Structure 1
Amino acid sequence: MPAMLAGSDVASNVLGWISIACWVIVYSPQIIENYQLQSGEGLSLLFVYIWLLGDLCNLVGALMAHLLPTMIILGVYYTLCDSTLLFQVYYYRWKARAGRVQLPQDVAEASTEQSCLLGDNALVHGSEIRQPSVMRVFLQYSAAVAFVMATGVAAYFISERLKHEDITPNDERDMPLEWRIQVIGWTSALAYLGARLPQIFKNFKTRCEGLAPGLFLFAILGNTTYSLSIIVVSTERGYLIRNASWLAGSALTILFDLVVRLMRRYDSHLITSRSHLPQVLGQFFYYGFVSRQRGWLDGTGA
């Protein structure tokens, strides 16, 4: 019989799988957006490359730390998504040069490397869109959240059934602090933070949105469940220090997610450039961490 997991380990793994399901949803809209527009020019290449560096560090560190499968799966998935976005940019550029795709004039002008993450051409004036009722939106997102959480729980039970019987979970709460993993972890965190700088100041200039409500919702849920997957394992000082890069990034992510969201709501009331300073600072932390500050799990599995 496979070794029984402690209650905290079960909770950690369930939360980890729910987080994976959330981040699968988070990435999908941009890839679909690029496909529909047959263009990836809404993305800054510098942003994606630095983002990819952060995810590669994340993955390498996960392998070095011998983490549980959910963390490694996340690292692989992030890297594949980055690679997919880069492939889309170069592939659609090649098709455009080859004359196989003729972009509409308005799309061609709006889709530049200076565009928002989701592309300026994806933004339509609010008066041109029929806004759904609040109840309908609430029900849609509630159903989506319920589906994602159910998927995560189901994935956990499936993974448990597929485990080999001779595999015993490692208790990594007392693992020593590994400086190499810490260096890679903080490098990953800094890469995630630095990758967004061009996008942040572009948003400051153009006041473009760049984040759909669904992205916001599932980013919050993904970061919350992933943070909890760490904390439920242990609250011992050494354990928390080993995971400090992730925990710090996660806390700031959730905090600035809410701050930036509130600031954007009142953006139309901001008149001068100086009055945008709090928003810029909020976006700096927000984009540095919410997009993908997974931080580091040196000694735990999600």
Structure 2
Amino acid sequence: MSPPFNDTLSSILGWSSLACWIVVYSPQIYENYSLQSGEGLSIFFVYIWLIGDTTNLAGAILAGLLPTMILLGAYYTLCDLILLIQVYYYRWKASNYQVTTSLEDEETPLLISGHSRRKDEVTPKKTIALQYASAMVFVVVTGLLAWWISSSIEVEEKPPLRHSTSMAWIIQSLGWTSAVCYLGSRIPQIIKNSSTRCEGLAPALFFFSILGNATYALSICVKSMEKDYLVTNASWLAGSALTIFLDVIVLFQFSYYRYMTIKRAEHGVCQ
């Protein structure tokens, strides 16, 4: 017997969200490597995100979620640590070459290495559109393919673990803490962008985050709109919706500073 349409659509959206979260860190890790600098990131953004991923992982373990979900939580935490290592490593590397430059303050001017891009270098709109269109196609295709593979494999369903009231409260608290951290992490990054003009920051990080949160929230709502079900997932829904809002602000900053850079180049204004 085939599953209801809502369950199928929810599964596809869930797998699509998973695809987004697997690759979300890659653009920024590569950006840091190519620039030999991690100064595009707010260090507080990464630390708070790390706390969010850590509490998310702890909640997944206590809730007895699938091993794949626990492994993903561990993967997210590892990626956060990689970003932190990049930031501090490139600061240490730069300090060896430029003794007079202080990298202790996170508002230090960016891109101090020989791999720096010119500030007036702007990626063509067609290239940007193609990149993001390809990203969306990747997410949709991956979601459909993963759903098809998972639906063709018979898995014995196990009844959900029953937790004591105190344990249930702990799990919910970890979920809300994680949601608040994901939300709060964007604030220092938005503030930092106003001084760095988003240089050294990969917009794809926030684009995949928006896609991941949107598809995740939709997978929950499509599955069921019953009150109890929505209340159980309220922390994740709230975190996803509000994080999308803040990520859109970051992408708006990218667009605004890109527009200003083009205008300055057209008028021959030196930065």
TM-score (norm: length of structure 2):
0.73
Corresponding residue number in structure 1 for 2:118:
124
Deviation, 1:210, is 6.1
| 1:110 and 1:120 in contact (8 A); partners too | no
| 1:55 and 1:79 in contact (8 A); partners too | yes
Query: 1:176-210, CA deviations, whole angstroms, 9 ceiling, x for partnerless residues?
Result: 99321111111112223344444333334454466
Report the Cα distance in structure 1 between the residues aligned to 2:243 and 2:90, rounded to whole angstroms: 32
Corresponding residue number in structure 2 for 1:232:
222
Q: Which amino acid aligns with 2:73?
A: G
Deviation, 1:5, is 4.8
Report the Cα distance in structure 2 between the residues aligned to 1:222 and 1:191, rounded to whole angstroms: 16
Corresponding residue number in structure 2 for 1:285:
none
Q: Superposition pairs for residues 116-195 of structure 1, below 5 Å?
A: 120-121=110-111, 124-126=118-120, 128-129=121-122, 131-134=123-126, 136-161=127-152, 165=155, 167-168=156-157, 170=159, 178-195=168-185
Q: Secondary structure at the match of 2:223?
A: coil
Q: Which amino acid aligns with 1:132?
A: P
Q: What do you get for the CA RMSD once the two structures are aligned?
A: 3.9
Pair 1:203–1:214, CA change in 2 (3 A): closer
Deviation, 1:211, is 4.8
Check if 1:221 corresponds to 2:211. yes
Report the Cα distance in structure 1 between the residues aligned to 2:88 and 2:254, rounded to whole angstroms: 32
Q: Secondary structure at the match of 2:124?
A: coil
Check if 1:35 corresponds to 2:24. no
Q: Which amino acid aligns with 1:114?
A: E
Corresponding residue number in structure 1 for 2:243:
253
Corresponding residue number in structure 2 for 1:279:
none
Query: 1:85-121, CA deviations, whole angstroms, 9 ceiling, x for partnerless residues?
Result: 2333455566x39xxx965x5xx959765259xx832
Deviation, 1:224, is 1.0
Pair 1:123–1:194, CA change in 2 (3 A): farther
Corresponding residue number in structure 2 for 1:63:
61
Q: Superposition pairs for residues 261-280 of structure 1, below 5 Å?
A: 261-262=251-252, 265=255
Deviates more, 1:222-231 or 1:35-44: 35-44
Deviation, 1:151, is 1.9
Q: Which amino acid aligns with 2:138?
A: F
| 1:23 and 1:222 in contact (8 A); partners too | yes
| Count, aligned residues | 252
Q: Secondary structure at the match of 1:124?
A: coil
Report the Cα distance in structure 1 between the residues aligned to 2:125 and 2:177, rounded to whole angstroms: 44
Pair 1:15–1:69, CA change in 2 (3 A): farther
| Percent of aligned positions that are identical | 53
Deviation, 1:24, is 2.7
Unmatched 5+ stretches in structure 2: 261-271
Deviation, 1:14, is 2.0
Pair 1:210–1:78, CA change in 2 (3 A): same
| 1:111 and 1:120 in contact (8 A); partners too | no
Corresponding residue number in structure 2 for 1:286:
none
Corresponding residue number in structure 1 for 2:268:
none
Deviates more, 1:196-205 or 1:147-156: 196-205
Report the Cα distance in structure 1 between the residues aligned to 2:185 and 2:125, rounded to whole angstroms: 36
Q: Which amino acid aligns with 1:139?
A: L
Report the Cα distance in structure 2 between the residues aligned to 1:260 and 1:92, rounded to whole angstroms: 24
Report the Cα distance in structure 1 between the residues aligned to 2:190 and 2:128, rounded to whole angstroms: 28
| 2:193 and 2:253 in contact (8 A); partners too | no
Deviation, 1:268, is 9.6
Corresponding residue number in structure 1 for 2:19:
21
Report the Cα distance in structure 2 between the residues aligned to 1:257 and 1:34, rounded to whole angstroms: 20
Q: Which amino acid aligns with 2:243?
A: T
Report the Cα distance in structure 1 between the residues aligned to 2:40 and 2:258, rounded to whole angstroms: 24
Unmatched 5+ stretches in structure 1: 271-302
Report the Cα distance in structure 1 between the residues aligned to 2:230 and 2:153, rounded to whole angstroms: 30
